[in-house]
Chains A and B, each alone.
Chain A
Amino acid sequence: MRRTFLGMPATAPRGVGHLRGEEPFPAAARRGLADPQLRRNLGHATTTIRAKSGAVIGELPDWQALREAGAAIKTDVLARLPELLEQLEVAVTAAGGIVHWAADAVEANRIVTELVAATGSDRVIKVKSMATQEIGLNEALEAAGISAVETDLAELIVQLGEDRPSHILVPAIHRNRAEIREIFLQAMPGVDPSLTDDPPALAAAARRFLRETFLTTRVAVSGANFAVAETGTLAVVESEGNGRMCLTLPETLITVMGVEKVVPTWRDLEVFLQLLPRSSTGERMNPYTSMWSGVTPGDGPQAFHLVLLDNGRSAVLADEVGRQALRCIRCSACLNVCPVYERAGGHAYGSVYPGPIGAVLSPQLTGVEENASLPYASTLCGACYDACPVKINIPELLVHLRDRAPHPKAEAAAMAAAAYVMDRPALYAAAQRAARLSRFAGRRGRGLPPPLSGWTIGRDLPQPPEHTFREWWAQR
């Protein structure tokens, strides 16, 4: 049905990666809503993070100016994306790195698998990375006999629990401490059976479990938060030190990065290093940020590969309204303020990108017809727009995508019928009188018959008035 033309913007291919859910949002959300533990965990976590983030953002008198700068820098990046990527390639290569280009998930997985295989290692350690989750890299590596060890605590909880991530920043946000303890006791080799659910004890268990793996694995795979075109500098922002381990200890480092992560100049990082930590974990600065340019002789990995990933981003860029979603720096502030995310949970969105940003990014990466329910997974309250550090107008995008999403035939027929009736005053008056009769008909269920019942599943049918305006006017 869909054809891809060489050199033309293309959406992410089917059958690989994690951008499409198995069921539409309303069906998946119903399961999340029915899980009281999930709602308690999410309510607690998002309330905590909103308070922390609000407090440290309030400390900066120039927060709005930083947002303006962040949005403008990213808009400039999108306008000059091909040129900036070529500049980045030159700078990374000059610093001793090797740059690879992947048009989609299949190519990226193949490139990384071949690079790992060439080292002879059958295991990689991984820093949490949205891009590699998006393309399903772990599954591709497993299929080639290479085990991928997630080293971020939340990713480890998800991996050991054979679970799916539900938040961009904290993939195990749907788990509380007692559940995490259970997962560790059941799935972590060599765990102390007297482990408590005290968070420091849980963190210490992860430290012990991963230590030997860090010291003996020769290849690491990371994502990137930023890449500076002018200097070839890559940046990874993290908390635990697992990122530093992966970026420092192995002989070979492979970084997979969405093309939109490039920024023009070194100075631009002064903006994003202020915006990102305060918006994401609600800290003045995250515990660790690592920056490197290519290879440093005698310090860290001596082989560095950078994989630049399209996988649908060109299709997003092709939509002049929709492209602003590519400004996203993956802070997850929009998730933490969203009333729909807080109640439905991240799994309901079906994609690795949940919440408001997921509702506008996933349908654009896959083509809106393959995630057609996501643009409706919102009340359009606008909290996400206010929270976004790069000012992505998510409500505007949602409406834009609703317009582009396929609409049911019944809706088009109903709208055409309404337009016909409203064009004809006599018919309109008759229709209004008929609507009044429905007060008696609709009393039992307050719903409409099929195919219009879809509209009234989640809404009450409004009560028609006793008199129409025209009748009241005539009798006045």
Chain B
Amino acid sequence: MSGREEVLARLRAARGAPPRVPAEAPRDYRPAGGDADLDLLVDRLTDYRATVHRCAEPEVAEVVDAVLGGRRVVVPRGLPERWLPASVTAVTDDDLSTAEVAAADGVVTAAAVAVAETGTIVLDGTPDQGRRVITLLPDVHICVLRSEQVVAGVPDAVARLDPRRPLTWISGPSATSDIELNRVEGVHGPRNLHVVLLTS
């Protein structure tokens, strides 16, 4: 008997008769479709020590200049060029080596979805967000978010996302609760998270 057949046979014997129809779980919690509160998102992000900048789309380059001016910045292939000021050395991720990504000071990306209630940004690897590694190794991550990408709660985000893409849910900078169960920012991921929330 192979491992597969053995495990399945054990579980079938243990479970007993299968249900004739799958049980329908009660879903009386708040469903997707609530109003996305941008101020709540800003409050949640700030609470987790992310820095929030609210500005119009043409001003993104100024924010990037203020945070990463004079530094080396990785950018995904699909990032709008107008978001980058002349003051940064932009390195486009054309299959950069891990060492090249790690050597950068920062990274600028767009996002897929943001959850107001939890202060979460989700990246899904589309061309304006790039490979997972580029938002992991540099110490500063600037993430540009359009207001229509902000949703109310977790169910809205799950409904919008494609599970077949690699997804990274980010809520504040890298942190740990491992020392006396207090949250301390800054372990292995980027220690500085800047969110640029575009006003429409």
Q: What is A's interface to B at a CB cutoff of 8 Å?
A: 6-10, 41, 44-46, 48-49, 52, 61-62, 65-66, 68-69, 72-73, 75-76, 78-83, 85-86, 95, 100-103, 107, 111, 151-154, 157, 169-170, 172-173, 176-177, 180, 199-200, 202-204, 206-207, 210-211, 214-215, 228, 231, 233, 239-242, 244-245, 247-249, 259, 264, 266-271, 273-274, 277, 281, 283-293, 296, 298-300, 308, 310, 313-318, 320
User: Cα distance A199–B179 when bound, in Å?
Assistant: 7
A283 CB to nearest chain B CB (Å): 7
Q: Is the CB of A239 within 8 A of B23?
A: no
CB distance A285 to B120 under 8 Å?
Answer: yes
Distance in angstroms between the alpha carbons of A273 and B155 in the assembled complex: 9
B154 CB to nearest chain A CB (Å): 5
- Interface presence of B22 (CB below 8 A): yes
Q: Which of A85, A151, A152, A314 contacts B13 (CB 8 A)?
A: A314
A153 touches B178 (CB 8 A): yes
CA distance A288 to B187 in the complex (A): 12
Say yes or no: B189 contacts A287, CB within 8 Å.
yes
Q: Mark B177-188, 1 if CB is under 8 A from A, else 0.
A: 111111111111
What residues of chain B lie closer than 8 Å to A259, measured between beta carbons? Answer: 7, 11
Please report B residues at the A interface, Cβ cutoff 8 Å.
1-16, 18-19, 22-23, 25-30, 32, 44, 48, 95, 98-99, 102, 115, 117-120, 125, 131-133, 136, 153-155, 157-159, 163-190
Question: Within the complex, which residue of A73, A79, A207, A298 is in contact with B131, where a contact is CB–CB below 8 Å?
Answer: A298
Residues of chain B with a CB closer than 8 A to A85's CB: 7-8, 11
22 A–B contacts, CB within 8 A, in A order: A48-B180, A65-B29, A69-B25, A72-B23, A82-B15, A153-B187, A200-B184, A200-B185, A203-B187, A206-B188, A215-B98, A240-B188, A241-B174, A242-B188, A266-B163, A271-B27, A271-B29, A283-B177, A289-B168, A293-B163, A299-B125, A314-B10
| Contact status B14-A9, CB under 8 Å | yes
Task: Count chain A CB atoms within 10 A of each CB in B2, B13, B14, B158 and give the residue with the most.
Answer: B14
The answer to whether A101 and B3 touch across the interface, beta carbons within 8 angstroms, is: yes
Separation of A85 and B10 alpha carbons in the complex (Å)? 13
Q: Is the CB of A310 within 8 A of B29?
A: no
Complex Cα gap A212–B160 (Å): 36
Judge whether B166 and A95 touch: CB under 8 Å: no
Cβ–Cβ contact B8 & A82, under 8 A: yes
CB <8 Å contact, B163 and A287: no
**What are the residues of chain B within 8 A of A152 when measuring CB–CB?**
178
The 7 closest A-B pairs by CB, nearest first: A241-B189, A7-B9, A241-B188, A72-B25, A314-B10, A240-B187, A318-B14
Q: Please determine whether A103 and B10 come into contact, CB atoms closer than 8 angstroms.
A: yes
Question: What is the CB-to-nearest-CB distance from A113 to chain B, in angstroms, rounded to a whole number?
Answer: 15
Alpha-carbon distance between A117 and B8 when the two chains are bound, in angstroms: 27
In the complex, the answer to whether B168 meets A82 with C-beta atoms within 8 Å is no
Q: Of all chain A residues, which has the CB nearest B173?
A: A287
* Bound: A85/B15 CA distance, A: 13
- Considering only CB atoms, which chain A residue lies closest to B189 in the complex? A241
User: Shortest distance in angstroms between A271's beta carbon and chain B's nearest beta carbon?
Assistant: 7
A315 CA to B185 CA in the complex, in Å? 42
Chain B residues with Cβ below 8 Å from A103 are 3, 6-7, 10
Q: Give Cα A254–Cα B110 distance, bound, in whole angstroms.
A: 30
B167 smallest CB distance to A (angstroms): 4
Residues of the A chain whose Cβ atoms lie less than 8 Å from the Cβ of B29:
62, 65-66, 69, 271, 274
- Asked if residues A215 and B99 are in contact (CB atoms below 8 Å), the reply is yes
CA distance A234 to B184 in the complex (A): 27
Choice from B5, B22, B117, B175 contacting A287 with Cβ under 8 Å: B175
**Beta-carbon contact of A73 and B165 below 8 Å:** no
Q: Contacting B15 at CB < 8 Å: which of A78, A202, A292?
A: A78
Contact across chains for B176 and A68 when beta carbons are under 8 A apart: no
Residue of B nearest to A247 (CB): B132
**Given A9-B10, A66-B29, 7 additional A-B pairs, CB 8 A:** A69-B29, A81-B11, A206-B187, A241-B136, A241-B187, A281-B183, A291-B163
What residues of chain B lie closer than 8 Å to A83, measured between beta carbons? 18
Known contacts A177-B179, A210-B188: A95-B10 contact under CB 8 Å: no
Picked from A62, A245, A285, A308, the residue with its CB within 8 Å of the CB of B169 is A285
- In this complex, what residue of A is CB-closest to B12? A82
